[in-house]
Chains A and B, each alone.
Chain A
Amino acid sequence: MHTKSIKELHKLLTDKKISAVELAQHFIDRALKHNPSLNCYINILSDEAKQQAKIADDKIFKKEGSLLTGIPFALKDIFCTSDMLTTCGSKMLSDFIPPYDATAYKNLKSSDMVLLGKTNMDEFAMGSSNENSFFGCVQNPWDLDCVPGGSSGGSAVAVAGGLSPVAIGTDTGGSIRQPASFCGITGIKPTYGRVSRYGMIAFASSLDQGGVMAKSAEDCAYVLQSLSGYDKKDSTSMPEDVPSYTESLNNSIKGKKIGLPTEYFANLDDDLKQIITTQIKEFEKLGAIIVDISLPHTDLSVPAYYVISSAECSSNLARYDGVRYGYSAKNPKNLEDLYLKTRTEGFGDEVKRRILIGTYTLSAGYYDAYYIKAQKIRHLIADDFNQAFAQVDILLTPTTPTTAFKKGDKQNPLEMYLSDIYTVAVNLSGLPAISIPAGFHQKMPVGMQLISPAFCEHRLLNFAHMYQAQTDHHLQTPSQVPQEKIL
């Protein structure tokens, strides 16, 4: 059941082979059983899921449902859900219950999807390994000693481990694509402005974007369709109509040009390069034309990213002061002491590190040298992409420089930051990108990234779907999580 696609689940539901309540219960049971070892959920919402599933069943009975009616999903705990705990992976918000829904969640609810639980994540989405969660690390189902990637590690593992058919993540510098790659699933980060950020707890406002993690590009397409759209509560969301993501899934890609940015392959591990090169041939079989292309400012993307994202986070996270909600230090001597203790005790090390970096780069005397310069680099990087897309339809790159690494392996933050090297430029440029499974290296999944021009998610999904139609990497399931048959 948990390996079935959304389309298959939808058919089972509408054929009355299974009810939405039974389907939800199946995933809740799996979650309750495997979460103690995987730790991908911070909160499993058994009762809420059953309630929502009942509503879905009612709609299915009245034939009022959509393709997503009754399909269960997991939601990264960065999205506010009214009357339900929303922690953002932090001690600071470990008891926070928002009185409002994130627009992204509201959209899925209005498609009658069923929320199974809130997934684990790096604290405030800062991290590439999920080791920064206040609620503990998430285990990679392909090797429990390995990290699942981050920051949407919980969402990736919920899907990879069969604890949810689909999950919602967010991606500020690779937080959907990198864990998707590490866990052998498909993850799409849409164009900045495609999915509302309202109620999605901010890390770096100009980079954050919600997206979908699922077993296939096709499943991603169905859910992204519902997730996307203009929201008047988010001034940076795009007023343009959302095109159909499913209609073009099977379009031929014959004659389409795929660019390989040489900078993304130059220092890549030989084995991974070999794997990806082999997979590129699959696109050639589909008639695509492969060309080399250059994105000359690639090496500046990681430093520019860490300056901008840290600057924004230092300001975005200033509101957690212990005054109105969230963690508040006990017995402060005075106001300053309240601020100091609350933030010292409530935030983890990585969050503090980024707040310090960001505060520094915005300070008088450093602003021009760091923040302004990073913004200029951002323009250069975006220009690189613009020029590339004048020549090709899509770009293909590795998603990550390595497969999932061992927990505790990257103690040096700089080393950790460099694991984002292939993903951050996309966020700096606001572009959409998808990571799809491309095979295995030493039994660990390898991911491949496709990047398209802004608002061309349908193109990404089309290319990915055509590739997945003739390969089976995305159908592999980890042996660590028993694939017991229930129904």
Chain B
Amino acid sequence: MKYDVVIGLEIHAQLNTESKIFSLSPTRFGADVNTQANEVDLAMPGVLPVLNEQAVIKAIKFGIATDCKINNRSIFERKNYFYPDLPKAYQISQFEYPIVGAGILEITNEKNELKNIGITRAHLEEDAGKSLHENFTKHSGIDLNRAGTPLLEIVSDPDLSSAKEAVIYAKKIHALVVYIEICDGNMQEGSFRCDANVSLKPRGTKELGIRSEIKNINSFKFLEKAINYEINRQENILDDGGRVVQETRLYDADKNETRSMRSKEESNDYRYFPDPDLLPVIIDNKLIQNIKDKMPESPYNRLKRFIDDLDLKEEDANLLCSDIKIADYFENIIKIGNLKPKLVANWIIVELMGIINKNNKKWQDNKINEQDFATLLQRITDNTISGKIAKQVFAVMWDKGDKPDNIIKKEGLQQLDNDDEIKSIITDIINKNPAQVQQYKDGKHKIIGFFVGQIMQQTKGKANPAKVQEILKQQLS
């Protein structure tokens, strides 16, 4: 391609506060229509907004985690436009003086190069309600449950040069906001949405081309597809000697295409001005330091530590660091049980996450506490049970919530560790299967698996597999 691709992202992360940014209504997702909207959300006459301090603290956390400048003074402004899902006919947002200023996020792009992506700013604003078009004829419904939900809009510099790079950046921001627990990151529910600004310019030139903005993309897959579609579309226009029109476009996932929503000429003059109902947000450095002191280790540090110090595979470390609760769980189990990190990582990723996924549950649904998990893994390392039996015990722990030692005792699952006992079982099996013994003696050593299987069957998997192997080999030779 003879063009450079220039992409900037605007990410809307919904902050996971209990109540809305300017009213006391709850922010829970999925409530009945208009049950979470009070007189402030409905913009009744005479009502006033009151800033939710938690939203401010969460924005500051983001600024700290990304090393962005946190502005000591920021201002809420009114963005004026008419739409039925915007009850005040203005959105309270930040414009000239955002709460979080510039910073840099380092990513490893698809070519495995380190690249710095500039964060222009991050500002607080309120979400709009939703228009409902289904089940209405000649009318539309309005649901104001979402109106006033706090959003942090994170704006990047136009530093991204491919759809893949944009996705990597967005994923990193996503992982971060989830990790520092300011956003639940649920993209299906719209808690994390992206707008992408895309433009092309002749390779190597400086001046930016005319951009289009693709609105409201709610999955990483669609983000990549929408940007690629847009790159293609613009490339075709430029190749044909045409001009890209500055406009807002919508991505249609069903058709995998972007469609024009409105051109620059049709765009609103938002008539921003400082909201006289709200005071400037003054944040002193002491508050920033207080928040910083209480913040956990940054996910980037932790990831690096998991890979370098705990010797985990990058893929596994990434998974464990995707959520601070998972990472804490992992490290606590290691500490409680004095266990090998790799063992714990495997059990969490394969067994626990496996059972969570299989049952269509979420991490929060995991009821197995760290102590019990550590005990279970200790029973493997102290040879009380085999790894295979441990999986059975684990399944019971998940289903019934019982303690691992109780389960082992109740079901008599202790590993058969007594040499004499194992020996007598092995002798018995060897005697019953002379043909197979002969095969082994003839050099077909793989047949040992048959004996192991027989022994495990007879002991219901309780025999210590290492010991079985050892004694078998002795007796067969």
By a beta-carbon cutoff of 8 Å, the part of chain A in contact with chain B is 78-80, 86, 88, 93, 96, 98-100, 102, 197-202, 204-206, 232-236, 311-312, 314-315, 318-319, 321, 323-326, 335, 339, 359, 362-364, 367, 371
Is the beta-carbon distance between A205 and B87 smaller than 8 angstroms? no
Query: Which of B50, B80, B89, B269 touches A235 (beta carbons < 8 Å)?
Result: B50
Whether B82 contacts A199 by the Cβ 8 Å rule is: no
Are B271 and A80 closer than 8 Å at their CB atoms?
no
How far, in Å, is A104 (CB) from chain B's closest CB? 10
User: In the complex the two chains form, is B51's CB within 8 Å of A315's CB?
Assistant: no
- 1/0 per residue, CB under 8 A from A, across B49-67: the answer is 1110000000000000000
Query: Across the interface, do A339 and B48 meet the contact criterion of CB distance under 8 Å?
Result: no
Contact A235:B45 (CB < 8 A) given known A315-B78, A335-B84, A371-B273: no
Contact status B78-A199, CB under 8 Å: no
- In the docked arrangement, what's the CA distance between A343 and B82, Å? 12
Q: Which listed residue (A201, A323, A367) contacts B45, Cβ 8 A?
A: A201
CB-CB nearest in chain A for B144? A324
Query: Can you list 25 A-B contacts (CB < 8 A)?
Result: A78-B46, A100-B39, A198-B46, A201-B45, A201-B46, A202-B45, A204-B276, A205-B277, A235-B48, A235-B277, A236-B276, A315-B271, A319-B87, A319-B88, A321-B82, A321-B89, A325-B44, A339-B82, A359-B271, A362-B271, A363-B269, A363-B271, A364-B271, A367-B271, A367-B273
Min C-beta distance of A460 to chain B, whole Å: 25
Residue of B nearest to A359 (CB): B271
Distance (whole angstroms) from the CB of B19 to the closest CB of chain A: 14
- Residue B46 contacts which of A102, A311, A312, A363 (CB distance < 8 angstroms)? A102
Tell me, in angstroms, the Cα distance from A325 to B44 when the chains sit together: 8
Residue on B nearest A237 in the bound complex, by CB: B48
Task: Tell me which of B42, B90, B277, B278 contacts A318 (CB under 8 A).
Answer: B90
Q: Using A206-B276, A312-B276, A315-B273 as known contacts, say yes or no to A100 and B44 having CB atoms under 8 A apart.
A: yes
Kindly report which residue of chain A lies nearest to residue B50, judged by CB atoms.
A235
Which residue of chain A is the closest to B76 with respect to CB atoms? A235
Starting from the known contacts A202-B45, A318-B82, 14 additional A-B residue pairs (CB-CB under 8 Å) come to A79-B46, A86-B45, A88-B45, A98-B45, A98-B46, A102-B46, A202-B46, A232-B50, A236-B276, A315-B89, A321-B82, A321-B89, A323-B142, A364-B271
Q: Which partner residue on chain A sits nearest B270 by CB separation?
A: A364
Chain A min CB distance to B82 (Å): 6
Q: Is the interface of A mostly helix, strand, loop or mixed?
A: loop
Could you tell me the distance between the alpha carbons of A206 and B43 in the complex, rounded to whole angstroms?
A: 18
Task: Say yes or no: B271 contacts A319, CB within 8 Å.
Answer: no
Q: Which 4 residue pairs spanning A and B have beta carbons closest together? A: A318-B89, A206-B276, A362-B271, A205-B276
B-side contacts of A364, CB under 8 Å: 269, 271
Task: Please give, as numbers and ranges, the residues of chain A lying within 8 Å of B89 by CB-CB distance.
Answer: 315, 318-319, 321
B471 beta carbon closer than 8 Å to chain A: no
User: Interface size (B, Cβ < 8 Å)?
Assistant: 28
Contact A311 B45 (CB under 8 A): no
* In the complex, chain B residues whose CB is within 8 Å of the CB of A200: 46
Chain A residues with CB under 8 Å of B48's CB are 197-198, 233-235
Set of chain A residues within 8 Å of B276, measured between Cβ atoms: 204-206, 236, 312
Give every chain A residue within 8 A of B343 (Cβ-Cβ): none
Alpha-carbon distance between A88 and B45 when the two chains are bound, in angstroms: 9
CB distance from A312 to the nearest CB of B (A): 6
A363 to B269, CA, bound (A): 7
Residues of B within 8 A of A197 (CB): 46, 48
Q: In the docked arrangement, what's the CA distance between A78 and B50, Å? A: 21
Q: Which residues of A contact B78 (CB under 8 A)?
A: 315
In the bound complex, residues from chain A placing their C-beta under 8 Å from that of B51 are 235
Encoded as 1 (CB less than 8 Å from any A CB) or 0, chain B from 72 to 89 comes to 000000101010100111
Q: How far is the CA of A326 from the CA of B43 in the complex (A)?
A: 12
**Contact residues in A for B278 (Cβ distance below 8 Å):** 235-236
B458 to chain A, nearest CB (A): 74
* Contact residues in A for B39 (Cβ distance below 8 Å): 98-100
Contact, CB under 8 Å: A199 / B46: yes
Residue B279 at the A interface, CB < 8 A? yes
| Contacting pair B279 A318 (CB below 8 A) | no
Expressed in whole angstroms, the Cα–Cα distance for A99 and B84 within the complex equals 21
Report the Cα distance A132→B277, complex, angstroms. Answer: 26
B47 at interface, CB cutoff 8 A: yes
Chain A residue numbers with a CB within 8 Å of B272 are 362
Q: Which residues of the partner chain B approach A78 to less than 8 Å between Cβ atoms?
A: 46
Residues of B within 8 A of A315 (CB): 78, 80, 89-90, 271, 273
Residues of B contacting A233 in the complex (Cβ-Cβ under 8 angstroms): 48, 50
Residues of chain A contacted by B49 (CB below 8 angstroms): 235
B277–A323 touching, CB < 8 Å: no
Q: How near does chain A come to B49, taking the closest CB pair, in angstroms?
A: 7
**Are A324 and B42 interface neighbours, CB within 8 A?**
yes
Nearest B residue to A204 via CB reads: B276
A100-B39, A236-B279, A363-B271 are known contacts. Are A80 and B46 too (CB-CB below 8 A)? Answer: yes
When the two chains form their complex, are residues B84 and A96 in contact, meaning their CB atoms are under 8 A apart? no
Q: How far is the CB of B96 from chain A (nearest CB, A)?
A: 11
Q: In the complex, A128→B148 CA distance in Å?
A: 36
Q: Are A80 and B80 in contact (CB under 8 A)?
A: no
CB within 8 Å of A: which B103-157 residues: 142
Q: What residue in chain A is nearest B271 (Cβ atoms)?
A: A362
Whole-angstrom distance from the CB of B275 to the nearest CB of chain A?
8
**Closest chain B CB from A208 CB (angstroms):** 9
The winner among A86, A236, A321, A371 for most chain B CB atoms within 10 A is A321
Chain A: minimal CB distance from B276 (Å): 4
Q: Tell me the bound Cα distance from A438 to B409 in angstroms.
A: 98
Q: Which residue of B lies closest to A232 (CB)?
A: B50
Give, as a whole number of angstroms, the nearest-CB distance from A252 to chain B: 38
B87 touches A324 (CB 8 A): yes
A200 and B45 alpha carbons, distance in the complex (Å): 8
**Closest residue of B by beta carbon distance from A324:** B42
Residue with the greatest number of chain B CB neighbours at <10 A, chosen from A80, A98, A198, A235: A235
Known A98-B46, A99-B39, A100-B44; judge A235-B82 contact (CB<8 A).
no
A241–B279 Cα distance when bound, in Å, is 19
CA–CA, A312 and B273, complex, Å: 9
Contact assessment for A93 and B273 in the assembled complex, using a CB-CB cutoff below 8 Å: no
Which B-chain residue is minimally distant from A365 (CB atoms)?
B269
Residue of B271, B278, B279 ringed by the most chain A CB atoms within 10 A: B271
Within the complex, what minimum Cβ distance (angstroms) separates A83 from chain B?
13
CB distance from B76 to the nearest CB of A (A): 10
Name the residue on B nearest A87 (C-beta): B45
Q: How far is the CA of A80 from the CA of B40 in the complex (A)?
A: 13
A234 CA to B40 CA in the complex, in Å?
A: 12
B15-57 CB mask vs A (1 if < 8 Å, else 0) is: 0000000000000000000000001001111111111000000
State A370–B243 Cα separation when bound (angstroms). 36
A77 to chain B, nearest CB (A): 11
Q: Complex Cα distance A224/B80, Å?
A: 35
Q: Could you tell me the distance in whole angstroms from the C-beta of A374 to the nearest C-beta in chain B? A: 11
Closest approach, in angstroms, between the C-beta of B38 and any C-beta of chain A? 9
- Chain A residue contacts of B88, Cβ below 8 A: 318-319
